[in-house]
Structure 1
Amino acid sequence: MDSRHLCMSFFILFFLVLANEAFQDAFANSCNVTGGRSQIVVPRGAYMVKSAVFNGPCKGWIEFRVEGTIKAPAGLVSDDDWVAFRHFDGLAITGKGTFHGFGESAWNFNNCEKNPKCRRLPISIQLDFVNNSVVSGINSLNSKYFHVKIHQSHRIKIDGVHIIAPEDSPNTDGIHIGNSENIRILNSIIATGDDCVSMGPGSKDIWVHNVTCGPGHGISIGSLGKYDNEADVNGIKVQNCTLSGTNYGLRIKTWASDIQLSAYNITYDNVIIDNAYNPIFIDQQYCPFDGCDQSAKPSSVQIKDVWFKNIRGSSKSQLAVTLQCSRKYPCNNINFWNINLLYHGPEGSVNATCMNVRGSASGIEKPASCI
């Protein structure tokens, strides 16, 4: 948009201890500016924000420019979300500042693997029903739960962000997408304790490009098939990415359940995987908890039309490719072209294993294809 046509409304926020009231006052003023773009600026400095939920729609574009550090309260807090944006059409979250979630003060409360009544910790940045928007340049540090979650949103670009949390921090997914379409994640660095990017049910037309991932659990589709009425996953492209020191590399994971849906039209192209435990992994018996009966039933999620192209690097384990598909709905049209994954450990040569898979392999085959 040409600057001559922008209606700029600057609200510089000088916070003392808690910035919630200043945030909301500035937002209320900006949201009522008709047309153009209104800008809310968080200047350099450190500001404590307990919880901030911004509800649109607004009369024009809203830009939150963060140059300082926004700090979450320490410990276990009552809110499900820390900073949330809902019902926007035209939102920009920009700047070189940091959202500091102080997750290190709450990760010990994340005991959902053992406690079915556990309460979810807050997400750092939540985008709900947000369209035609951009997140650019910001930093997210030590989220209590997910760093960024995108839900029921369309045409979102995330560009040049830096997301970081320790390797052993639980459920600190970098960017999680669900029931959203036309999402672009570009030119970013994500180093977390869980998935760098996770794409859940209803993720459609997602492009992950030039993302550096690691540590963490790699770039994942799923988990799928856990809840009723989940929507298909369709049109995923992961391209020109580097994954280093991750537990998994490129992973698709589904629960062994009766929930029916499909994941299809998925392309991984020109990806470097350096020293990952499981570089390529399709897991249709996914279960992160103890006590799961993985033999009880096959997954009802159909995985099909998947391309792995120009995947190269090294595996930390001998088993570089694992395709563990459903006996009820075998993986169909799974294609490999120029896979070059090396293993230098004591067990021997690099291997692949397949179960209930149909597809093809051509070009370089390291490990030798099991399809």
Structure 2
Amino acid sequence: MARWVILMCLLLSIVEARGRRNGNVFDVRDYNALASGNTDDTKAFMSAWKDACKTEGKTTFVIPSGTYMLNPIVFSGPCNGQITFELKGTLTAPTNNPSSDTTWINFRYLDHITVNGGGKLDGQGTSAWGRKNGNPLLMGLGFAFVNNSNVNNIQSVNSQNAHISMYQCENITLSHITITAPSNSPNTDGIKMAKSKGININDVHIATGDDCIAMITGTKNVNISNVYCGPGHGISVGSFGSNTDEFDIQDIYVKSCTFNATSHGVRIKTWPTALTHPLKASNIVYEDITIVDVSLPISIDQEYCPSNKCGKKVSSGVKISNISYRNIKGTSKGDVAIAFKCSESNPCQNISLENIDLKRKRPRRHRTLKNLCFNVRGASRGIQEPKACW
């Protein structure tokens, strides 16, 4: 009798495992992922993905609790159904990238993918940032040619490079995400996007060593709200304007965000480079922004040149226009509240300031907070502290 019970239990286990594989739930543990934390589980993940991708209907790709080590991996489509990538465990990146890949977890050519589950991506950047030789440091979570998708309720810790990147994506919502890296971690942008549109970012907490959010060439129609940024370099449009194959950035709305102890707050930056074709940044709104001890709260820098390696500087060819700053208040720990350094050949046009109330963190004797404006044309109304340039 006991032998019969044992046999039945084994048969039920096999049936259940096959059911999970052959049904619409694909658990990586059923594909021999070990979750030991130090054994490469990449092959098991790829096998589970192939089965999930070819299955019709709504499908769930499950990563249970545990720690899984993965080398760079591509989850590619198109797939036959809508997939939920349910990350409950922790994924760890290799500290010494074994390939020439630049992205660690990469989703490509997918429609209606959802990434969620409350799990964690551990880029192990603290063991990789100082590496000067070998293959590239890995961006964390990458989306390329992905549309109509959602990313929510995950964590990204110590990415080696940018935490989340998007390239040529449409209609993606990112929400309830926590991104963490030390303030001195190099190039660890929180969320970075290029040639993408219809991007919504809300209820996200970002602490990192570079831009909290960076919108570069060809980014359009982005809504950002309820983002906490700090430490980091602020929310940036750019940098761009250094190459001949770049595209306009426009229709950006940033609302109800907080910047705490960042180097910058809301920022637009272009390179001091002449262009052979028209390029612009336009229709950008910053509204209801809280500034807490930020070095430079508001800036347009058309002389952006990190490390002073630009060679001979020329007037930026990027045209900046229709930029609105509304209801921005808080404290600055620097001497300048607003710095508009616009292009001499393409002055900034239609820059609007409404209810700007910025004070110095600690008043300094004989040094009042000030604004600096060059080659800019704009208007102001309501509270202007410090006094507007016009």
The two structures have a TM-score, normalised by structure 1, of: 0.93
Q: Which structure has more helix as a fraction of its residues?
A: 2
Aligned in 2, Cα 1:233/1:91: closer, same or farther, shift over 3 Å? Answer: same
Match of 1:136, as an amino acid? N
Are 2:97 and 2:136, in contact at CA under 8 Å, matched by a contact in 1? Answer: no
Q: 1:276 aligns with which of 287, 294, 313?
A: 294
8 Å Cα contact 2:52-2:59 kept in structure 1: yes
Where do 5+ consecutive residues of structure 1 fail to align? 1-6, 112-117
Which position in structure 2 is the counterpart of 1:87?
109
Say which SS state the counterpart of residue 308 (structure 2) adopts.
coil
> Mean alpha-carbon deviation: is it higher for 127-136 or for 337-346?
337-346
CA apart distance, 1:345 = 3.7
Return the offset for 1:33: 1.2
Distance in 2 between the 1:70 and 1:88 partners? 21
Cα distance change, pair 360–345 in 1 and its aligned pair in 2 (3 A): same
CA contact (8 A) 1:152 1:178 kept: yes
User: Post-superposition shift, 1:77?
Assistant: 4.1
Counterpart CA distance in 2 for 1:120 and 1:50 is 13
Measure how far apart 1:292 and its partner are: 3.4
Query: Which residue of the partner structure matches residue 208 of structure 2?
Result: 192
2:65 corresponds to: 44
Q: 1:353 to 1:8 in 2, by over 3 A?
A: farther
Matched position secondary structure for 2:315: coil
Look up the equivalent residue of 1:87 and give its one-letter code: Y
Q: Distance in 2 between matches of 1:205 and 1:109?
A: 37
Structure whose CA Rg is larger: 2
Q: Residue 382 of structure 2 corresponds to which residue in structure 1?
A: 363
Distance 2:329 2:135 in 1: 40
What's the offset of the Cα at 1:293?
4.4
Secondary structure class of the residue paired with 1:108: coil
TM-superposition CA deviations, 1:119-151 (whole Å, max 9, x none): 642111110000000000000000000000000
1:44-76 C-alpha deviation (Å, 9 max, x unpaired): 111100111111000111111101100001135
Could you say if the C-alpha distance between residues 313 and 77 of structure 1 is closer, same or farther in structure 2, counting changes exceeding 3 Å?
farther
Q: 1:189 to 1:110 in 2, by over 3 A?
A: farther
Distance in 2, Cα, partners of 1:290 & 1:308: 29
Spell out the pairing of 1:103-114 with structure 2 (5 A cutoff): 103-109=125-131
Deviation at 1:80, TM superposition (A): 1.2
C-alpha contact (below 8 Å) 1:264/1:305 kept by paired residues: yes
Partner residue of 1:135?
151
Q: What does residue 350 of structure 1 align with?
A: 369
The one-letter amino acid of 1:335's match is S
CA contact (8 A) 2:71 2:97 kept: no
Instruction: Give the distance between the partners of 2:146 and 2:345, measured in 1 at CA.
Output: 37
CA deviation vs aligned residue, 1:182-226 (integer Å, no higher than 9, x gap):
000010101000000000011100011001010000000000102
Question: SS at the partner of 2:389?
Answer: coil
Q: Deviations over 1:104-128 (max 9, x none)?
A: 11112369xxxxxx96421111100
CA contact (8 A) 2:172 2:198 kept: yes
TM-score computed with the length of structure 2 as normaliser:
0.89
Mean Cα displacement is larger for which, 255-264 or 74-83?
A: 74-83
Quote the RMSD (CA, aligned, Å): 1.5
After superposition, what is the alpha-carbon deviation per residue over 1:249-308, rounded to whole angstroms, capped at 9, x for unaligned?
0000000112341000000000001101010010000011234346x3100000000000
Of 317, 328, 341, 2:334 maps to 317
The correspondence of residues 188-227 of structure 1 with structure 2, limited to 5 A, is 188-227=204-243
Question: Cα deviation per residue 1:70-98 (whole Å; 9 max; x = unaligned)?
Answer: 00011354321101000001111101100
Identity between Structure 1 and Structure 2 (%):
40
Whether contact under 8 Å (1:316, 1:345) holds in the other structure is no
| Separation in structure 1 between the aligned mates of residue 315 and residue 155 of structure 2, nearest angstrom | 41
Correspondence 1:23 to 2:41: no
Q: How far did 1:351 drift?
A: 0.4
Q: Does 1:62 align with 2:77?
A: no
Equivalent of 1:302, from 306, 319, 323?
Answer: 319
Moved more, 132-141 or 220-229: 220-229
Measure the CA separation in 2 of the matches of 1:363 and 1:12.
Answer: 57
Shift of the 48–243 alpha-carbon distance from structure 1 to 2, 3 Å rule, reads same
1:3 corresponds in structure 2 to: none
**Pairs aligned (count):** 357
| Offset at residue 348 of structure 1 (A) | 2.0
Using the alignment, how far apart are the partners of 1:291 and 1:54 within structure 2? 37
Q: Which amino acid aligns with 2:355?
A: N
Amino acid in the other structure paired with 1:55 = S
Alpha-carbon distance between aligned partners in 2 of 1:362 and 1:51, rounded to the nearest angstrom: 52
Unaligned runs of 5+ in 2: 1-21
User: 1:4 maps to what in 2?
Assistant: none
**Which 4+ runs in 1 deviate beyond 6 A?**
none
CA contact (8 A) 1:8 1:37 kept: no
Structure 2 CA distance, aligned partners of 1:206 and 1:120? Answer: 29
